[in-house]
Structure 1
Amino acid sequence: MKIFIAVLLALALAAGLAAAIQQDSGYILIAYGQTTVEMTIWVGLAVLTVFLLLVMFIFASLRRGAKVGDSIGSFWSVRRAARGRSHTTLGMIAFIEGNWAKSRKLLTDSAKDTETPLINYLLAARASNQLGDASGSRHYLGLAEETSNKASIAVALTQAEMQVENGQLEEALATLTRARRNAERHPSVLTLLKKVYIGLRDWGSLLALIPDLRKHSGLSEERLAELEREALMGQLEHLAQQGDVTGLQQWWKHVPRSWHKDAGLLLAYSRVLVAAGDSSGAEKLLRQSLKLQWHSDLLKFYGLIAGSDVAKQLSAAEAWQKDHSDDPVLLLTLGRLSLRNELWGKAREYFEQAYQRSPNAEVCFELGRLMSNLDEPAAAERFTQEALQLQSQSLPSLPQPSLSNRSA
């Protein structure tokens, strides 16, 4: 029905057009210079229609050709991207397997055909480093930095890690210092700086870094405490080599107050003070500390040093018996302090009490030595033999030569 109506309309339009042409054909004159063109208006309309149809045909052909070109270009782009991904993957596999030369070739060949050339160049730089090619490493790090204006931190970290691997700690520190200006709180920068400071034994810088590590590195409080203890112990070791008592005392004043209660640091500091000639200062420090916290290692060392007033030192230790009367380490310490005060009978009594509560090699050796000097050789021999036997209990059970074999 629709086709029939369309045909009727077309016939009616054609009939009307024919009648219009017969009634008045019109006139068109086109003049350009010495040239003139004459035609009826209907012929002009026909020429114009043909011209417009030709323009539309050409335009449609160009669009179709452009689409075909785009399709061809897209095809090759997809092919290159797929090849880039494939070679990048193979390069990463070769890198993991330690095939550095193959890895570098695959990664660099495919860098321009992948969406992530930064990764390719960074791994190529690492592969070059493994091959001992320092100039190659620098070259690929430079290419990596050109891939993005945000690549500087990744490039700096890669360079610093390679420098650390090569033992170039000073160079790594310089690289990380520059990186930290742009990324002060970057966790990886802070973590690598920590490693460099430990390697350089730069304990002051490590201590200064710990607050930032606490905020941004994700390290546990236990690990941070270990780092802080390591740094403090490192500083103490350095000061111990100098033997400067005043410097040691000033350092202790600047140690955070929370660490003044750490038994391990207290004991190490006390030992260094004694070695530097300040036994009096060590005795005073330990005496004050033992009032606040009871610790066997601190107590034992207290009995091994001589303060400025050994009688007062013994009295202070005896006062602790009120709360720790059954502590064998306290009894051993009291015996030693009694010896320092030349109170032989009291020393023997304390040693014997310590022996009764916890017979060990250390107490037996003290009793053996004291008995020998008190002219009691039998008792001295007995305690000395027992001390040797107790001491040998830490040795593994192994065959020993018998008397008969020894004579042979």
Structure 2
Amino acid sequence: MRIFISLVILFAAAIGLAVGARFNPGNVVLFYPPYRVDLSLNFFLLLLVLVFVTLYLMLNAIRDAQRMPQRVAAYRREKREREGNQAMRDALKALFEGRFGHAEKAAARASQGPDNAGLSALIAARAAHRLGHPERRDTWLTKAHQDGALKTARLMTAIELLIDERQPETALEAVNELQATGTRHIHALRLALKANQRSQNWPEVLRLVRLLDKRNALHPALSRRLRELAYEHLLSDSSHDAESLRRMWSGIPSDEQVQPYVAARAAAAFNAKGLHEDARRLVEKALAKEWDDRLVRAYGESATLGSPSLLAQIERCEEWAKARPGDAELELTLGTLCLRQKLWGKAQRHLEQALSDALDAVTVQRVHLKLAQLHEALNQPEEAAEHYRRCALATAI
């Protein structure tokens, strides 16, 4: 519709000009003494239009000529940007495909442009790391350092690559620098966790695990395993004395103190330092929360010969045995406690009950060993030898 209207207006203008020119008797006289030029008005108007068009084209040509260097520079700049962006895409594609040599070369081409220099340096650093060239990797990371906007990306990349190269101390330096910027996102916390785990900084591992658990950023099985490792190393540290061990235990959250793997490890640590009463109390508290064979075993190890609490432990185990019949570990623990208290009949009865309830070879072996010790104490060498033989057979199995 617009084209039709435009054509109608154009035709109307042409008809108007033709009619006006036909019936226009005007004349134009130009005097330049001693010359005189007579022109019709229509021809003069035509010449005026031609002169205007000519001047317009000449001025445009002069302006285009003046702008030619800028246009050439802009064209070359756009060409470099296109080539740099293409090189960047090639580098990313090669990196994801695992062609790290091609990725580094493409990233080197992309780094020639100022806009892609920082990101291409990070890509090249990852590629050089995968190729096993840490010197080139560090060189690329240094180049990426020049781009302040990529500080977080550079530090994250450096932490990840240093952890992979098993340099946790250097990675932790980058972690501290990253935390100084206020960065606390999930992946940064995961990398910090891995770095502290590699450097065996177990208190920090526990702190990061708790923080990631609050954000549901760790699988429960992984979280549990990391906690186990942390508490295993913290509680088995031989540098602890009795007071430092108690102080460290008091710093553990109460909901974690009753976890079986924590309580069992802590009981072993307390027993190793001769703090059997502390071990007994924490095991009883943990068993009240959740029953676990490791805790029952630790409870038996917390008893000492001649201790005033030994009879109380036997009574507590008997109460548990009534509530949990058929528990081989509990029967073994109760028999062991009776053996230490020299209650021979009760010890033999509970140990034989544990032997009948035992389902695994390790428990069978431990029961036979205790029965052998019982018969030795009763001066029954033949029975003791038989149980020692069965203990050896269970070990072989």
TM-score range, shorter chain: 0.7 to 0.9
Q: Sort the Cα spacing of 1:297 and 1:140 in 2 relative to 1 into closer, same or farther, 3 A.
A: closer
SS at match of 1:195: helix
The answer to whether residue 374 in structure 2 is matched with residue 370 in structure 1 is yes
1:275 shift after superposition: 0.7
1:91 shift after superposition: 4.5
> Aligned residue pairs: how many?
375
| Equivalent position amino acid for 1:54 in 2 | T
What is the aligned-residue RMSD (CA, Å)?
4.0
SS at match of 1:143: helix
| Equivalent position amino acid for 1:233 in 2 | E
Given that residues 126 and 162 in structure 1 are in contact (C-alpha distance below 8 angstroms), is that contact kept between their aligned partners in structure 2?
A: yes
Alpha-carbon distance in 2 for matches of 1:212, 1:373: 54
1:168 shift after superposition: 3.4
| Equivalent position amino acid for 1:17 in 2 | G
1:93 shift after superposition: 6.3
SS at match of 2:108: helix
In the alignment, what sits opposite 1:328? 328
In the alignment, what sits opposite 1:172? 171
Alpha-carbon distance in 2 for matches of 1:123, 1:217: 30
Per-residue CA shift, 1:321-376, capped at 9, x if unaligned? 33124323222222211121112222222222323333822222322332244233
Q: Sort the Cα spacing of 1:293 and 1:363 in 2 relative to 1 into closer, same or farther, 3 A.
A: same
In the alignment, what sits opposite 1:17? 26
Alignment of 1:4-83 (within 5 A): 6-13=17-24, 16-18=25-27, 21=28, 52-61=52-61, 80-81=80-81, 83=83
In the alignment, what sits opposite 1:273? 270
Q: Sort the Cα spacing of 1:215 and 1:312 in 2 relative to 1 into closer, same or farther, 3 A.
A: closer
Q: Structure 1 residues 318-327 or 93-102, which shifts more?
A: 93-102
The answer to whether residue 183 in structure 2 is matched with residue 184 in structure 1 is yes
The answer to whether residue 170 in structure 2 is matched with residue 161 in structure 1 is no
Given that residues 84 and 110 in structure 2 are in contact (C-alpha distance below 8 angstroms), is that contact kept between their aligned partners in structure 1?
A: yes
Per-residue CA shift, 1:104-159, capped at 9, x if unaligned? 3432123235964433211223445556463x545433433445x53111112222
The answer to whether residue 296 in structure 2 is matched with residue 299 in structure 1 is yes
Alpha-carbon distance in 2 for matches of 1:374, 1:11: 147
Per-residue CA shift, 1:281-321, capped at 9, x if unaligned? 21233234334433222212322332432222222222323
| Structure 1, unpaired ranges of 5+ | 29-35, 394-408
Q: Structure 1 residues 109-118 or 334-343, which shifts more?
A: 109-118
| Structure 2, unpaired ranges of 5+ | 1-10
Alpha-carbon distance in 2 for matches of 1:320, 1:180: 50
| Equivalent position amino acid for 2:150 in 1 | A
Given that residues 314 and 334 in structure 1 are in contact (C-alpha distance below 8 angstroms), is that contact kept between their aligned partners in structure 2?
A: yes
Given that residues 258 and 286 in structure 2 are in contact (C-alpha distance below 8 angstroms), is that contact kept between their aligned partners in structure 1?
A: yes
The answer to whether residue 258 in structure 2 is matched with residue 261 in structure 1 is yes
Alpha-carbon distance in 2 for matches of 1:353, 1:315: 17
Alpha-carbon distance in 2 for matches of 1:90, 1:64: 37
TM-score (norm 2): 0.77
Q: Sort the Cα spacing of 1:41 and 1:48 in 2 relative to 1 into closer, same or farther, 3 A.
A: farther
Q: Sort the Cα spacing of 1:128 and 1:390 in 2 relative to 1 into closer, same or farther, 3 A.
A: closer
Alpha-carbon distance in 1 for matches of 2:169, 2:196: 10
Given that residues 228 and 261 in structure 2 are in contact (C-alpha distance below 8 angstroms), is that contact kept between their aligned partners in structure 1?
A: no
In the alignment, what sits opposite 1:108? 108
Q: Sort the Cα spacing of 1:146 and 1:296 in 2 relative to 1 into closer, same or farther, 3 A.
A: closer
Given that residues 83 and 113 in structure 1 are in contact (C-alpha distance below 8 angstroms), is that contact kept between their aligned partners in structure 2?
A: no
Alpha-carbon distance in 2 for matches of 1:355, 1:212: 45
Alpha-carbon distance in 2 for matches of 1:216, 1:181: 21
Given that residues 304 and 336 in structure 1 are in contact (C-alpha distance below 8 angstroms), is that contact kept between their aligned partners in structure 2?
A: no
Alpha-carbon distance in 1 for matches of 2:72, 2:198: 57
In the alignment, what sits opposite 1:342? 342
1:269 shift after superposition: 0.5
Task: Pick the structure with greater CA Rg.
Answer: 1
Identical amino acids, percent of aligned pairs? 21
| Equivalent position amino acid for 2:395 in 1 | Q
Q: Sort the Cα spacing of 1:172 and 1:217 in 2 relative to 1 into closer, same or farther, 3 A.
A: farther
Q: Sort the Cα spacing of 1:159 and 1:48 in 2 relative to 1 into closer, same or farther, 3 A.
A: same
In the alignment, what sits opposite 1:31? none
Per-residue CA shift, 1:183-242, capped at 9, x if unaligned? 42222322211111111211222233335434568333443343334333332233xx12
TM-score (norm 1): 0.75
Match of 2:279 among 279, 282, 290: 282
SS at match of 2:265: helix
Q: Structure 1 residues 290-299 or 88-97, which shifts more?
A: 88-97
In the alignment, what sits opposite 2:150? 151
| Equivalent position amino acid for 1:120 in 2 | S
Alpha-carbon distance in 1 for matches of 2:211, 2:350: 51
Q: Sort the Cα spacing of 1:198 and 1:389 in 2 relative to 1 into closer, same or farther, 3 A.
A: same
Q: Sort the Cα spacing of 1:291 and 1:176 in 2 relative to 1 into closer, same or farther, 3 A.
A: closer
| Equivalent position amino acid for 1:337 in 2 | L
1:273 shift after superposition: 0.6
